[in-house]
Structure 1
Amino acid sequence: MHTVEQKLKERIKELTCLYEVTSLIVNSDYEQIEEVLRAIAACMQRAWQFNEETYVELKTPLTTIRTEKKAEEFVFLQSPIKVFNEERGYIKVGYPSPKYTPDDFLVEEKQLLDNICLEVGNLLERKEIKENQEAIRRQVEQGDRLRILGEITAGIAHELNTPLANILGFTELLKERVEGDSKAEKDLDKIITNTIFSREVVKKLMFFACEMPQERTSLNIVPVIEDAIDLLRTTLRQNDINCKLNTDKKEIVLKMDKIQLTQVLFNLIVNAIYFSPPQSTILVDVRENNGNVVLKISDEGSGIPKDKAETIFAPFFTTKPVGEGSGLGLSVVHGIVKSHQGTIGHAPNKPKGTIFTIKFPKTV
């Protein structure tokens, strides 16, 4: 039995612990949660009646904190940590066994443990809310940046079209005048090649900036896909790569812009060719599924690095060497798919490579 003085002493320890825990949580830095939880465990260790032998284990999705063990076996008092009413961890306090039994824990200690678990759960909730708010803020900022970038690129594209056309036209005329001069013809061919490349970049900028008008019609997309693959047969043959089309129907009707669908297919298949090894296969699979048309393009290449997975659709981002990619191909694809109310994602292929999956709703 505890004397009145002992009971009072224990109540003071418990209240002090609760005050310290509350102060730690109120003044906590969300970037230093582990330090806060470690301090809470130390406070709890001091608050229990046999504090010199008390062992505390605090487990959350972020980390697990354990105080020093003074024995091998323990009897425990345990309470769950709940975040948004979902159990995400626990705190348990132990005494060495068989020296102590569960009856040695005080009723007030159980109440204190429940209160601390509630406070820790509230702390984790606030941290999660703040992180969600930060994520939303970043998305809004990214959306604003992309909108501004779209306006800028549209203006740049319009300004570049005319001089590029002039360069190409005058270079062709100049090539006729220097006929027979192989060195000059070779230099002019380089100008023409680079001008055409620049014009293609401008065209992609126009797509990215949504400046290319859409002409949506109901069309059978299967022959459109077959034509796109046939147009790339030479490139496929040069790289010793095979491309197969799998479909469960010969007619899959979808309302969309035929040219933009071809642009999507070209970009994804050309990307797959670039990263695929010789004698590999690119598989194009198209199906109707639950009111959607699902288009999958899979390759056997090196795959997308994990640290690049979230940025591959960003404009001007490319994993290709300098001069071999504009960084606009996948952002153009993403823009076209979104403008048709579709979705696009990617996942690793097995045993290696990447699968791009596009879903278009048939109701649009």
Structure 2
Amino acid sequence: MGALVSTEDQLKERIKELTCLYNVSSYIANCNLYDLDPTFKAIAASLKAAILYNEEAFVEMKLGDTVVCAGQRLKDQVFILSAIKVFNLPFGSIKIGYSKEKYNQNVFLTEEKQLLKTVASEIGNLIERKQIIEKEELRKRQMERADRLAILGEITAGIAHELNTPLASILGFSELLKERFINDNNALQDLDKIMNSAIFSREVVKKLMFFSCEMPHHMQLVNINPIIIEAINLLKPNFSKKGLECRLAFNEDDIFLRVDAIQLTQVIFNLVINAIYFSPKNGIIDVNVSNQPKEVVLHISDEGKGIPKEISEHIFNPFYTTKPVGEGSGLGLSVVHGIMKSHRGTIKHSFNKPKGTVFTLTFPKI
């Protein structure tokens, strides 16, 4: 079946197309950038209504992983297609089609093809605007978070220094008292409890100093592969308890990096232990190490519940934990953050599709 040729029918089609463009502009101008699905559905419906034989047509929009349809999608079809580009890169497409049994390719009007390109361009501009706003908001949150962590680091360093002196006094005088009560077993047991508590507190202070980057570190150019392998091997009993599989991969047999080997081990321990804790039974933990021209990148991923968006900005703060009372001090990730900062590196987290968390650590080659 061919396209209409009468002047009256052509005029009616132009009115439908102009109405569609007006509607699309209105939908985009009044849309909610944080929930674009209703807008895309409205655009698809408006575009379908503007087509010559709109009752028999269908519109299909592919936007990343999202598909929006108006009308019944047909298996055997004739169609026209227009790409949706975001920052000049392919992002999706819009398709208008009919049943191949009733229509051929000549059914589409030249104006309809131009309308499709215009709508595709408008959608691309909308997605660009959304991404720009999201990046600005993310950058603002990151700057605010960096400022908070910097202030928190200064406060933490001061607290750590203030606590070291009284803890040293508690340990020293406890040792002297043990000599005085050498024949009093009850007193010795009480003193041991005091000393153990003081030692535990000193370890907490040490972790606080890691967070604030006040701990000295011994940087050496080393092959990090065996360090990471050894750290993972030490955790094998933890994997076995939950039936977990750890897949460790290096993109090169030898990867050299200037690091503090002990602190690198702490980083691996803390992140992998967290991954083990939050992983479901018989899950998989992936540790991938990639040597790149200017940096070394580690990806540690699990299949747990993931990190809810509402707490994602707090997970590196000291004493913040989502584990039950008694199962976590809330210092593991803050220690990792401090070590990464002292190595001039970065640590970020993202969703692990379809579920879980991915921590990405970047060590610059300095």
Name which of 167, 170, 173 aligns with 1:167: 170
Name which of 89, 92, 95 aligns with 2:95: 92
Secondary structure in 2 matching 1:305: coil
1:56 aligns with 2:55: no
1:103 aligns with 2:106: yes
Name which of 115, 119, 123 aligns with 1:116: 119
Stretches of structure 2 lacking an aligned partner (at least 5 in a row)? 241-251, 278-288, 353-357
Secondary structure in 1 matching 2:183: coil
Secondary structure in 2 matching 1:8: helix
- Which residue pairs with 2:23 in the alignment? 20
In 1, distance between residues paired with 2:147 and 2:186?
49
In 2, distance between residues paired with 1:5 and 1:53?
21
Q: Is the 8 A contact 2:315 2:333 kept in 1?
A: yes
Segment of structure 1 superposing worse, 146-155 or 130-139? 130-139
How big is each residue's C-alpha offset from its partner over 1:8-56, in whole Å with a ceiling of 9 and x where there is no partner? 1111111011110011111111122110000001111111121221211
In 2, distance between residues paired with 1:26 and 1:62?
24
- Which residue pairs with 2:285 in the alignment? none
In 1, distance between residues paired with 2:295 and 2:108?
62
Secondary structure in 2 matching 1:75: strand
Residue correspondences, number: 328
In 1, distance between residues paired with 2:294 and 2:359?
18
In 2, distance between residues paired with 1:186 and 1:53?
88
Name which of 11, 19, 44 aligns with 2:47: 44
Secondary structure in 1 matching 2:71: coil
Q: Which amino acid aligns with 1:153?
A: T
Alignment of 1:311-326 (within 5 A): 314-316=316-318, 317=320, 322-323=325-326, 325-326=328-329
In 2, distance between residues paired with 1:320 and 1:303?
16
1:305 aligns with 2:304: yes
Alignment of 1:91-240 (within 5 A): 91-213=94-216
Q: Is the 8 A contact 2:346 2:362 kept in 1?
A: yes
In 1, distance between residues paired with 2:298 and 2:63?
39
In 1, distance between residues paired with 2:293 and 2:6?
74
In 1, distance between residues paired with 2:74 and 2:273?
62
For normalisation by structure 2, the TM-score amounts to 0.72
Alignment of 1:225-264 (within 5 A): 260-264=260-264
In 2, distance between residues paired with 1:70 and 1:313?
46
- Indicate the percent of aligned positions where both proteins have the same amino acid: 49
- Which residue pairs with 1:232 in the alignment? none
1:65 aligns with 2:68: yes
In 2, distance between residues paired with 1:161 and 1:134?
40
Q: Which amino acid aligns with 1:143?
A: A
Q: Is the 8 A contact 1:41 1:56 kept in 2?
A: yes
Q: Is the 8 A contact 1:59 1:90 kept in 2?
A: yes
- Which residue pairs with 1:284 in the alignment? none
Q: 1:314 to 1:80 in 2, by over 3 A?
A: same
Q: Which amino acid aligns with 2:92?
A: G
Q: 1:32 to 1:221 in 2, by over 3 A?
A: closer
Stretches of structure 1 lacking an aligned partner (at least 5 in a row)? 230-234, 242-246, 277-286, 349-353
